[in-house]
């Protein structure tokens, strides 16, 4: 697969920023949480909402039947995905046990019918998830992407929501090879990144090593961060 050049990547960023200005989707209900809950797991924020916009824009075109969210937090994204395209099954994983409980509450509060749902605690795609390889059509991942000292990575509480280590890439780099094993050929990963994560380098590395085709789908500035959703398609 040819490398994505810096100039083509810059064009993608610009097109994605323009497109994103027109997007603002309806979100699942989250009224079952209060501000105290959000001291225990990640409060939906600009990155969560950008992911929901990306899913609304792109997911209906390929109607995935089996969807997995890695790091589901409040459950906002996986519930949004289930409402969008009526899949057969949804799976959600989080390392934070209170996020696992929160995801289940959001699923139940939104009264989704006819979709099989499993949520459990897991350190990325750890033990017990091998049985799903390679059967998933779509993975949603809003990782801990903030650059921090490496020592801050690896917790199981609220700090796991953001601590990404060097370049904010420690958790991302550990997760991606297993995500390619989990996805079917033709399956899609939607992943949040910030510019500090070096997305162009990431796209080209995974294109070369795993035959994954990556592009920038949507992009929005939120305070001091430039957030993008990458769409990465497994081609072999
Ligand atoms: C930025 S938050 C995103 C939460 C939610 N998906 C959203 O968009 O609002 C990152 C999530 O990843 C989870 N997480 C971090 N490290 C993880 C790991 N090693 N395995 C599974 N989940 C992890 C965190 O607990 C947190 O819920």
DSSP the chain: -PPPPHHHHHHHHHHHHHHHTT--------TT--TTGGGTSPPP-HHHHHHHHHHHHHGGGT--SEEEEES-TTSHHHHHHHHHH--SEEEEEESSHHHHHHHHHHHHHTT--S-EEEEEE-SSS-TT-GGGTT-EEEEEE----B---GGGTT-SSGGGGTB--GGG-HHHHHHHHHHHHHEEEEEEEEEEEEGGG-HHHHHHHHHHHH-EEEEEEEEEEETTEEEEEEEEEE--
CB of 211 within 8 A of CB of 158? no
Closest atom of ligand 1 to CA, residue 69: 6
Q: How far is the CA of 137 from the centre of ligand 1 (A)?
A: 20
204-221 burial, b if ≥16 CB within 10 A, otherwise e?
A: bbbbeebebebbbbbbbe
83 lines ligand 1 (CB under 6 A): no
Query: What sign results for the dihedral spanned by CA atoms 225, 59, 70, 40?
Result: positive
User: Which residue's CA is minimally distant from atom 7 of ligand 1?
Assistant: 48
Give 68's strand partners.
91, 139
> Is residue 220 a part of any domain in this protein?
yes
**Is the C-beta atom of 93 inside 6 A of ligand 1?**
yes
Tens digit of each residue's pLDDT (9 = 90 or more) over 41-85: 999 999 999 999 999 999 989 899 999 999 999 999 999 999 998
Domain boundaries, position 68 = 6-126+134-234
Residue 1 is assigned to a structural domain of this protein: no
Q: Would you write out the chain's pLDDT as a tens digit for each of its 236 residues?
A: 789 999 999 999 999 999 998 888 788 999 999 999 999 999 999 999 999 999 999 998 989 999 999 999 999 999 999 999 889 999 999 999 999 999 999 999 999 999 999 999 999 998 888 888 889 999 999 999 999 999 999 999 999 999 999 999 999 999 999 999 999 999 999 999 999 999 999 999 999 999 999 999 999 999 889 999 999 999 99
Whether 41 is in a domain gets the answer yes
What is the CATH number for 58? 3.40.50.150
Number of folded domains in the chain? 1
Q: Tell me: the pLDDT tens digits for 191-210?
A: 999 999 999 999 999 999 99
């Amino acid at each position: 697969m040819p490398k994505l050049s810096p100039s083509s990547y810059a064009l993608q960023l610009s097109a994605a920023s323009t497109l994103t200005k027109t997007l603002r989707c309806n979100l699942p209900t989250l009224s079952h949480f209060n501000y105290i809950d959000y001291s225990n797991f990640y409060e939906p924020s600009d990155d969560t909402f950008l992911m929901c916009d990306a899913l609304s824009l792109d997911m209906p075109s390929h109607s995935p039947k089996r969807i997995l969210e890695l790091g589901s937090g409040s459950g906002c994204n996986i519930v949004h995905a289930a409402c969008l395209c009526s899949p057969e099954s949804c799976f959600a994983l989080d390392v934070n046990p209170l996020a696992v409980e929160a995801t289940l509450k959001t699923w139940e509060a939104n009264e989704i019918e006819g979709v099989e749902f499993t949520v459990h605690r897991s350190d990325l795609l750890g033990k017990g998830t091998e049985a799903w390889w390679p059967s998933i059509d779509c993975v949603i991942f809003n990782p801990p992407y903030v650059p921090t000292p490496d020592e801050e990575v690896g917790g199981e509480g609220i700090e796991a929501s953001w601590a990404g280590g060097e370049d904010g890439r420690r958790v991302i780099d550990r997760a991606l090879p297993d995500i390619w094993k989990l996805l079917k050929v033709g399956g899609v990963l939607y992943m949040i990144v910030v510019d500090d994560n070096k997305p162009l380098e990431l796209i080209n590395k995974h294109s070369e090593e795993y035959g994954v085709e990556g592009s920038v789908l949507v992009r929005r500035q939120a305070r001091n961060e430039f957030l993008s959703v990458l769409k990465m398609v497994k081609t072999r």
